[in-house]
Amino acid sequence: MSASRDRIARNPARDQVAIVGIGRSPYSRDRDGCSPGSLVLEACIDAVGDAGLAKEDIDGLIGSTVSAQWVQAALGIPAVSYFANPPIIIGNQLVAAVGAVHSGVCDTVLMYHHGYRLPWASRRAAQDPMRRRSTVGVADPRSWWGTGHNDPGSNSLFGSSAYAAWAGRYLHDYGYGRESLGHIALNSRTNAASNPGAVYREPLTMDAYLDGRMVRDPLTVYDMDIPVDGADAFIVTTAERARDLPHPSVLVHAATLGHTDYGSEEQLRDLDHSGQVVVAERLWARSEVELADVDVFYPYEGFSNIALAWFESVGYCGRGEGGEFVADHWIEAEQRIVIEGRIPVNTHGGSLSEGGTQGAGHLREACMQLRGAAGSRQVDDARVALVTPGGFYFNSQGLILRTDI
């Protein structure tokens, strides 16, 4: 993390690439008869139409576990000059899209992400025999990704177990109670009430949060993202072409991924050596806007403690001060966080209440806000959005999006 500032500040793609189409397959907890592929296709068709384009206009495809090649065939897209299937989550797809479009390898990318309830994450899904078959065959999915060791035994520390362990370490080191995690969960739930597309919209009180079913201490069922069926898709093209398309352009001002050498669950040194720290350093170095210019903030909260760390990593406060910062900017009458009385956080309800799609929902909502199309939850004059998908390892990501002014 000692690279020279000049080197990490290089950003020739700044404001040159735009998100011009947004499509959804609505998030659901009780939908039958869908597959990961059917969800993706629904969102993709929606996005192409939203951008005012036809399938012949798409010449780049970026997917993941539902592959770009499968989607191309299913949609009958005649020819693409770029396709890739980076691992989830959504920042990987967007960074690939920016590179492919700005370099000229292709002109217009269709990228997407889906969520699909797996049997171990949903009682209802577990009753569906076809879903049981759809789960990965190895207990520890990292062995597929090649990102970690591959012991599937009862004592593996990965996924929710590892994030819970880091949440416990955070409370231990900085002396917080569970209320600091609760603020993240309540903020998402409050904002979800204004989002017709969110799956959980009923109010949540701090008392109910603290009584929530403990799953992995100190994380309760309210601290973990909600499994949903659903998908999001995005159309990405040049900023120049974007000006001829129907919606206000959302420009990608800066985008980065971040990872460190000891960046796996139990080997992570501490929160000062996580991918988030790399993201923040590189993102701000490549950006011409500053934290003070941000109008809406989307810290990923697939596990609530991740969001507390993002407040710290991007610079709103120092390490360990996230819990205090969130409490200081908590609007009791609204039951949500509004930074400095101006900047709302996860306006759509996030992974904890809109539905867990690994940051795709955060990206979509940021685009909707910058378009001025977020309906009753529209933030006045939103011009700059900071989106930080991902956790501490494998998938820390940062995106600064802005309007084309």
Partner 1 sequence: MSDDPAEPVADRSAELLSAFPGVRVDPDNAAYYSGLLERRLLLNQCTGCETWHHPPRPICPACWSTDVSAQDIQGSGTVALVTILRQGPRQPGVDYEGGHVLVAVELDEQSGLRVPGTVVGVPAEEVAVGDRVQLVWTDIGDGVAPRPDFELAQ
Q: Which of residues 26-65 bind partner 1 (CB under 8 A)?
A: none
Provide, rounded to whole angstroms, the least separation between the CB of residue 170 and partner 1.
10
Q: Length of the chain, please?
A: 405
Provide, rounded to whole angstroms, the least separation between the CB of residue 273 and partner 1.
9
Which residues have C-beta within 8 Å of that of residue 334, sequence separation ≥ 6?
190
Q: How far is CA 280 from CA 15, 214, 229, 267, in A?
A: 19, 32, 31, 21
Provide, rounded to whole angstroms, the least separation between the CB of residue 274 and partner 1.
13
Provide, rounded to whole angstroms, the least separation between the CB of residue 27 and partner 1.
23
Between 15 and 140, CB nearer to partner 1:
140
Residues 393, 270: Cα–Cα separation, whole Å: 11
Residues 19, 98: Cα–Cα separation, whole Å: 10
Which member of 16, 35, 38, 267 binds partner 1 (CB under 8 A)?
267
Between 50 and 265, CB nearer to partner 1:
265
Point out which span in 186-194, 214-222, 250-258, 376-384 binds partner 1 (CB under 8 A).
214-222
Q: Is 285 in the site for partner 1 (CB under 8 A)?
A: no
Between 10 and 169, CB nearer to partner 1:
169
Q: Is 217 in the site for partner 1 (CB under 8 A)?
A: yes
* Contact status, residue 382 vs residue 296, Cβ threshold 8 Å: yes
Which member of 78, 269, 315, 334 binds partner 1 (CB under 8 A)?
269
Region of residue 346 (left: phi > 0; alpha: psi -120 to 50; beta: else): left
Backbone angles phi, psi at 210, to 5 degrees: -65, -25
Q: Which of residues 173-212 bind partner 1 (CB under 8 A)?
A: 173
Point out which span in 39-47, 82-90, 146-154, 204-212 binds partner 1 (CB under 8 A).
146-154
* Contact status, residue 161 vs residue 266, Cβ threshold 8 Å: no
Provide, rounded to whole angstroms, the least separation between the CB of residue 266 and partner 1.
4
Between 124 and 269, CB nearer to partner 1:
269
Residue 379's SS3 state is coil
* Contact status, residue 248 vs residue 404, Cβ threshold 8 Å: yes
Q: Is 373 in the site for partner 1 (CB under 8 A)?
A: no
Residues 349, 380: Cα–Cα separation, whole Å: 18
Which member of 237, 256, 264, 388 binds partner 1 (CB under 8 A)?
264
What is residue 303's DSSP assignment? B
Between 83 and 166, CB nearer to partner 1:
166
- 112: nearest Cα among 202, 208, 192, 45: 45
Between 214 and 327, CB nearer to partner 1:
214
Between 180 and 287, CB nearer to partner 1:
180
Q: Is 341 in the site for partner 1 (CB under 8 A)?
A: no
Which member of 165, 206, 210, 291 binds partner 1 (CB under 8 A)?
165
Which member of 49, 104, 120, 203 binds partner 1 (CB under 8 A)?
120
Instruction: Show the DSSP H helices in 104-215 as ranges.
Output: 123-126, 129-134, 142-145, 159-174, 179-192, 206-210
* Contact status, residue 392 vs residue 303, Cβ threshold 8 Å: no
CA 161 to chain centre: 20
Provide, rounded to whole angstroms, the least separation between the CB of residue 169 and partner 1.
5
Which member of 124, 172, 243, 342 binds partner 1 (CB under 8 A)?
172
With b for 16 or more beta-carbon neighbours within 10 A and e for fewer, the 235-252 pattern comes to bbbbbebbeebebbbbbb
How many other β-carbons are positioned within 10 Å of the β-carbon of residue 118? Answer: 15
Q: Is 309 in the site for partner 1 (CB under 8 A)?
A: no
Which member of 73, 105, 138, 373 binds partner 1 (CB under 8 A)?
138
Provide, rounded to whole angstroms, the least separation between the CB of residue 129 and partner 1.
17
Residues engaged in binding partner 1 (CB under 8 A):
120, 138-139, 143, 148-157, 161-162, 164-169, 172-173, 213-219, 261-262, 264-267, 269
